[in-house]
Structure 1
């Protein structure tokens, strides 16, 4: 098993290129005889060759069933039904101005079936007559998750080999901070873009103020209420409120030896110190989970027009087996064991069996922090990602687009209105 591919997965996917058809010179116009055209002077220069046009085709997950890939249908020919020739089209009445600008309202959709996409109409429709135009940032996130999760063979083998290992795909709201200045990253860009973090001396701080936490809580509770109204044409949002305590243990050598062989191989390949996070129910002290969180890759997005930037993280969560007897508690210099504990007051929202949003107040060592994060259901993601490779209908890109839409909508909700 190639562990280096797991720890340092390929982050860039070279775009597939398909050459266009050969370029041909047009024939002389029949209205003018070629004999009457002036003869060009002789030249020793070689005729200039015409560059072939290059196109950036859609990724496979963005291709519909009725489209072609390199001249071949996406669905096997035997599954295609013959269609009668269309009759002579009749003029259709133009939609009213509001419909042309806004498009049809999307209806509710299942997470396992493509929803009714908003087709571009009226002025929005490009000269190519494409019904959809992809978002470049969301497409980059699609590539990132497809490489680091769906097509990451070491990760997939680890998940298949042990029920105690699962992949986590999370998106966090926060700010990209320059370490030299301690200020939020401000560059030449004025709109949202993916950042090449490896080329920068930055860190990501996932935090918000108490007032922002309160406003976000009220906004999300309002969305829960609206989703429960009779006749609401939207996905129902469920709500839970939990209070938990995190206690950290060192993964010393005896504890390391208790892990299964494949898990030891994964954890041993990491260059960072690993800890075991034991989460307890604050009411009764019951152990809820015991996890080792192993980072795979991060992708950061700068959003200078809104209050927050975003970090997309891919991790592996490993359940630590057995009781914690004999495992030493983690303790940092200058901190007591009590100061190491994290007290989490969390409100969670989930919908479509695909999205899980956590709004959390974290108390540790007398300080409070506020965090907002969104997780994708790993089974839904992997199911749709596998259907991409099988060339079956899937919702992979719409799932990632949904994640990006949630990041943008909630960030804009908190961003103060610009002064006129």
Structure 2
């Protein structure tokens, strides 16, 4: 071969131009096909994605041809000449059409989709602006990890809102529970919608709406059904029963029906200045007549006993010993302290000391009794007479003159605790009225050796507690020649019961009366079982 052709291959282009251009054109086709068959590079698990630019990048100028050559050459995976080198041969041989064809086929649009980040990035749209750093995040409500448990003394519903958020934020951004509207319930309380909440958050029970539920329920105005609210927090949609309401307990219903029947029968006692109805519960023990021990019945809960059986088989003793008396005094004093909290109804306390004396009524005294009282006293068994009780205070001033008539009893046996209960209904005639005859004409003459009374005098050291319509009288009774006797009586105002007889408040007053009696029956003396 001529040495000049090796040193200068373009020397004879004029004569052999067609033959010199043809071979490069043929060699381009396999290279293009090779590019089409090339598979995209798989993403490696070790490849770390490039971070997004903080600011929009400025468009870079077009890379020089040498960069395209190196980039295109790097995509070749075979031993043949890269397409860019073949195009250079065409350029030297004077053919431009094939070179343009190769560059078009090697353009990014013709190659498979690249997984590399482009040199330029589009600026962020206004709908999703880039997050700015250096500013704290503002929560629409206090996050779970920052909330206080409702049992925490520092938790305050007025400051933290229903879900632990401040009231201002809660009002500005209502949560999902506030947006769900539910129909009002019979008690006028708007209940939250279904809430499927985890039973525990941060190791504590779920926080009911209102914050301190069951912690200070007396601060709620109006009072809420906290048990139902808490159940809905745990289970979602919840109701007390298939009838929505809770059924009246059997014992509470028995006591309410019993009081209702006898109050209806005493409707003619309508002048409280002359005669009043007394409904009291004495705390004591039911004793069998055969063994003089407390009865044992085959029941495991408190129960109302049949009065026919009581009259035949048992009796009630209201006396308790001194340790039991002290335990009751401690309980009632603690109740006074509890009612001193803000929002509670304060319990009143008195400590009177009185002396009671008894004298039988004379014929003039029997005629002075109010008609409803006199009509019922005529049915007393033979040998039983009415006595007038005169009470005087420490200064020997008469505080009351009363004639008491027993109407009926109801006994409650409480097997799990130390005490039982007897509820009595009595009539009390006021004999200290100005229009009546002098005292000496209303009573029989005094018996010898009995002083002024028909029976021995009783000195009463009474601790009197009053709360709402209920009064608790813890009394030590001293009778001459006898051991001290301790009694505990719970009384409910009959006038309050008569004012709501048959109405919605009747069950509440009876329920409170029975609940107070239950608390007293469950007290245990110091060191007692």
Q: Aligned partners of 1:109, 1:296: CA distance in 2, in Å?
A: 41
SS at match of 1:385: coil
CA gap of 1:89–1:304, structure 2 versus 1, over 3 A, is: closer
How far apart, CA to CA, are the structure 2 residues paired with 1:276 and 1:303?
Answer: 34
Instruction: Give the gaps of 5 or more residues in structure 2.
Output: 1-184
Change (3 A) 1:415 1:226: same
- Aligned counterparts, 1:311-350, within 5 A: 311-320=422-431, 321=433, 322=436, 323-326=438-441, 327-328=443-444, 340-350=456-466
Cα displacement (A) at 1:172: 0.9
Q: Cα distance, 1:328 vs. partner?
A: 2.4
Map 1:137-156; keep pairs closer than 5 Å: 137-149=251-263, 151-152=264-265, 155-156=266-267
Q: 1:304 to 1:262 in 2, by over 3 A?
A: closer
Name the counterpart of 2:391.
Answer: 279
Aligned to 2:338: 226
Verify the 8 A CA contact 1:175 1:205 in the aligned structure 2: yes
Partner of 1:269: 379
The yes-or-no answer on 1:384 pairing with 2:500 is: yes
For 1:253 and 1:109, locate their aligned partners in 2 and report how far apart those are by CA, in whole Å: 57
Q: Does residue 321 of structure 2 align to residue 209 of structure 1?
A: yes
Counterpart selection for 2:402 from 274, 287, 291: 291
Aligned to 1:359: 474
Residue 246 (structure 1) aligns with: 356
C-alpha spacing 1:90/1:269, structure 2 compared with 1 (3 Å): closer
Which string of whole-angstrom CA distances, capped at 9 and with x for unpartnered residues, describes residues 208-266 of structure 1?
1101111221221122123224x3x4221110000001100102323212334444323
Distance of aligned partners of 1:114 and 1:185 in 2 relative to their CA distance in 1, 3 Å threshold:
farther
User: Which whole-Å CA distance do the structure 2 matches of 1:114 and 1:289 have between them?
Assistant: 40
Does the aligned pair in 2 maintain the 1:175–1:309 contact within 8 Å? Answer: yes
RMSD across aligned positions (CA): 3.5
Match runs of 1:98-113 below 5 Å: 98=205, 104=214, 107-108=217-218
Tell me which moved more, 209-218 or 262-271. 262-271
The aligned length equals: 320
| Structure 1 residue 235 corresponds to structure 2 residue 351 | no
Match of 1:290, SS? strand
After TM superposition, the score normalised by the length of structure 1 is 0.67
Instruction: Determine the C-alpha separation between the residues in 1 that align with 2:420 and 2:328.
Output: 16
Partner of 2:278: 168
Residue 190 of structure 1: CA displacement? Answer: 2.4
Q: 1:382 to 1:127 in 2, by over 3 A?
A: closer
Q: How far, CA to CA, are the matches of 1:99 and 1:402 in structure 2?
A: 30
Looking at structure 2, the residues matched to 148 and 330 of structure 1 have their Cα atoms a distance apart, in angstroms, of 36
- Say whether 1:159 aligns with 2:274: no
Measured in 2, the distance between the counterparts of 1:418 and 1:130 equals 41
Higher RCO (CA 8 Å, separation ≥ 6 residues) = 1
Distance 1:311 1:90, change over 3 A: closer
Q: Which moved more, 1:268-277 or 1:298-307?
A: 268-277
Checking the alignment, whether the CA contact within 8 Å between 1:119 and 1:132 is kept in structure 2 is: no
Q: How does 1:117-132 map to 2 (within 5 A)?
A: 117=225, 119-120=227-228, 121=231, 128=242, 130-132=244-246
Which residue of the partner structure matches residue 369 of structure 1?
A: 485
Report the CA distance shift for 1:415/1:217 in structure 2 as closer, same or farther (over 3 A): closer
**Alpha-carbon separation, structure 2, partners of 1:136 and 1:126:** 17
Greater per-residue helix proportion: 2
CA distance in structure 1 between the aligned counterparts of 2:222 and 2:309, rounded to whole angstroms: 37
Contact 2:359–2:446 (CA<8 Å) still a contact in 1? yes
How far apart, CA to CA, are the structure 1 residues paired with 2:225 and 2:329?
Answer: 29
> In 1, distance between residues paired with 2:205 and 2:445?
62
Q: For residues 73-103 of structure 1, what are the alpha-carbon distances to aligned partners after superposition, in whole Å with 9 as ceiling and x for unaligned?
A: xxxxxxxx9xxxx9x9664546657469997
